Structures are given as C-alpha cells and as structure tokens.
Amino acid sequence: MIEISVILPIFNEAPHLNELYTELRAHLLELKSSFEIILVSDGSTDGSNELIRQIASNDDSVIGVILSRNFGHQAALMAGIEKSQGGYVITMDADFQHPVSEIHRMIQAANDGVDIVNMVRVGKAQGGSFKQLASIFFYRTMNRMGEVKIEAAAADFRLMNRKAVDAFLSLKEKDRFTRGLVSWIGFNQISLEYIAAPRKSGNTKYPFRKMLSFAGSGFFSFSSKPLRIAFYLGILISLLGVIYSIYAITQYFLGNTIPGWTSLMIVMLLLGGIQLLSLGIIGEYIARIFNEVKNRPVYHVQDEYQKDS
Ligand code: UDP
Ligand code: MG
C-alpha cells in the first residue's frame, strides 16, 4: 500500500532534475510514510528522459513515464495521476517554484479530513507584469462567467485524496483544465498559502501561446455564456437595425436623398465585425466538440521505467 504519490510534470528540466529529486526524496523519507515519485516527461528533448531513466533504475520508489511527445502540462499531470496508486496524490512543478517543504502541511490538512488541498501563491508571481495582468484579467472574467470558481493565484500544486482522484478521473473530457475540473468535483477543499520560489534554471515552459490556449480551455470548457453574449449582441444590433431602417424609409418618403457613404460604411463594418465575432465564438465551441468527439487519448506513453523490486 502506497500512502503518498508525488507527480512531477517535466518539460526540459534537466539542469536541476537530480537536485529536485534528491531534495524531494529526502523530504518524503522524513515523513515516514510509504511513497512513490512519478516523473512524467512531457516530450523533453534536453536529456531529462535519460536522467529520469537513470533515477528510476536506481530507486524503486520512482516511476518514470516518458510521453511520446509534448502533450502539454495538463496532459502530463493527467498521465501521472492515472499512474498513481497513493492514498494521497500530490502534483507539483518540477522547477523548485513549489517548495517541497510545504508537503508536510498539505498532508497534515489531509489527515485532518480535507479531501483536496489547493496551494495558493502569495506575494508577487514570476513572469513579468504582462503575464500577471493577463492572468488576473482571465480569472476575473472566468469567475464571473464560468460555473466554477478558481483563485487567481492558484497553481497546479495540490493534494487530492484517493476519493477526490477517483472523482477527478471519472470526468472523461479530453481537454484537461485541471484546476477547473478539480473545482467542479467539489468535496471538502481548502486553500493553503505558500511563497513561490523563483524558477531554478531555464525559462518558463509556458510561453504566451501556451498560456492563451490554456486560458481558452478554461474559458470555453467551463462556460457557455459567450454563446449567449453573441445572441444578445445579435438582438441588440437587430433592434438598432430596425430603428435605423425606419429612419431611412422616412427620409426616403420625405424626398431626402442622403449621400450615405459614412453610414453605409459604419453599418457594414459593424455588422461584419459582429458576425465574424459570433462565428468565431461558435467556432471555438465546435472545435472543442470536434476534439471531444474524436475521443483520442489525452497522451501517449512511449516508455516507462520502473525498477523491479
Ligand atoms: N510543463 C510540462 N509541459 C509543458 C509545459 C510545462 O510538463 O508543455 C511542466 C514544466 O516542466 C513545469 C510545470 O509544467 O514542471 C510548470 O511549467 P513552468 O514552470 O514553465 O510554468 P510557470 O511556472 O512559468 O507558469
Ligand atoms: Mg514554474
């Protein structure tokens, strides 16, 4: 029986991987519980895979999972969670930003009967002010529109007990926006604060492009309000159209021939813009439906390393 599973998604984290593993292992040994460490390489190309193979071949508490390409952080988390066997499952970043020293507090909370412990960053986040502003804007909008509430400083640094993990895995969607899904399943959740450390080495593996697609998953998978907004916009513009038509017809019968270029341009551009916007919104949902319907797996495992004990 394994008590604690710790899952680390790894995308090119080779320079500090050994150090992280050593620190994590030392910390887990102090807890005097049985544990497993699941290292999930999400298509790393910098030698992380080889390191993972070495670590796993020397330590039977380590499982190395090598995905066949870069499927994204959320998919890597899913791969680790599906592999895990522990009564408590902890996910954390592999760049030292989530301090291993917080693990005992998380476990204490779980021992006190909490099902899910969400770690929430305090203090300044890393990654520049633009990234922060974008993130604040996203969570505000999301919390206003969506069916789940997510704290703006939430991270994928969290503990779930087996009951919560089973519920989480029972959600079958392919588009895994973990923090939204975790919020959706409910259970007894608490938030604990932690101070994020700076990234140990290398750059963020979340460039703006990945952040946008992450935000898109959160937004469109957890709210259908954008569709309604498109509908309301349609009603509003139609109403304005009717009013303007009445004006135009009156002018016609009064014999006023208006030059009309400006008004025509405005109407054309406005209508065109709103139609494209609405189509785009519908398109987002159709693309997501298409993705779900294809029913492809969330990730593919290429290699798995585990020392036979
Ligand atoms: N990560 C991943 N696949 C990706 C991007 C990131 O597995 O496509 C991992 C990465 O190795 C790290 C965690 O997800 O362990 C969080 O990424 P990062 O620290 O770069 O994000 P940030 O903290 O800058 O938001
Ligand atoms: Mg990080």
Domain assignments of the chain as residue spans, ordered by start: 4-205+297-306, 225-294
Q: What is the C-alpha to C-alpha distance for residues 258 and 138, in angstroms, rounded to an integer?
A: 45
Residue to mutate, 68, 93, 100, 208, ligand 1, most ligand atoms under 8 Å from C-beta? 93
What is the residue-wise DSSP string for 110-167?
Answer: HHTT-SEEEEEEESPPSSHHHHHHHHHHHHHHHHHHSSS---TTEEEEEEEEHHHHHH
- Expressed in angstroms and rounded, the spacing between residue 92 Cα and the centre of ligand 1 is 10
Three-class DSSP category at 258:
coil
Please tell me if the CB atom of residue 202 comes closer than 6 angstroms to any atom of ligand 1.
Answer: no
Residue 212 CB partners (closer than 8 Å, separation 6+): none
Residue to mutate, 66, 206, 211, ligand 1, most ligand atoms under 8 Å from C-beta? 206
Rounded-to-5 percentages of helix, strand, coil across the chain: 55, 15, 30
pLDDT tens track, the chain, 309 positions? 899 999 999 999 999 999 999 999 999 999 999 999 999 999 999 999 999 999 999 999 999 999 999 999 999 999 999 999 999 999 999 999 999 999 999 999 999 999 999 999 887 656 667 777 888 888 888 888 877 888 888 889 999 999 999 999 999 999 999 999 999 999 999 999 999 888 888 888 888 888 888 888 888 988 888 898 999 998 999 899 889 889 888 888 888 876 778 888 888 888 888 899 899 999 999 999 999 999 999 999 999 999 876
- Expressed in angstroms and rounded, the spacing between residue 277 Cα and the centre of ligand 1 is 31
The pLDDT value recorded for residue 84 is: 97
The pLDDT value recorded for residue 51 is: 96
The pLDDT value recorded for residue 205 is: 87
Quick one: fold of 4-205+297-306?
A: Spore Coat Polysaccharide Biosynthesis Protein SpsA; Chain A (3.90.550)
Q: What is the C-alpha to C-alpha distance for residues 79 and 18, in angstroms, rounded to an integer?
A: 21
142, 150 in Cβ contact below 8 A? yes
32: left (phi over 0), alpha (psi -120 to 50) or beta: left
Q: What is the C-alpha to C-alpha distance for residues 176 and 214, in angstroms, rounded to an integer?
A: 9
Q: 155: closest CA among 187, 115, 197?
A: 197
- Expressed in angstroms and rounded, the spacing between residue 45 Cα and the centre of ligand 1 is 14
What is the residue-wise DSSP string for 152-221?
Answer: TTEEEEEEEEHHHHHHHHH---SS--HHHHHHHH-SSEEEEEEEPPPPSSS--S--HHHHHHHHHHHHHH
117, 106 in Cβ contact below 8 A? yes
The pLDDT value recorded for residue 270 is: 85
- Expressed in angstroms and rounded, the spacing between residue 182 Cα and the centre of ligand 1 is 19
198, 128 in Cβ contact below 8 A? no
Q: What is the C-alpha to C-alpha distance for residues 187 and 209, in angstroms, rounded to an integer?
A: 33
The pLDDT value recorded for residue 255 is: 85
The alpha carbon of 258 is separated from its chain's Cα centroid by a whole number of angstroms, namely 54
The pLDDT value recorded for residue 108 is: 96
The pLDDT value recorded for residue 124 is: 65
Please tell me if the CB atom of residue 214 comes closer than 6 angstroms to any atom of ligand 1.
Answer: no
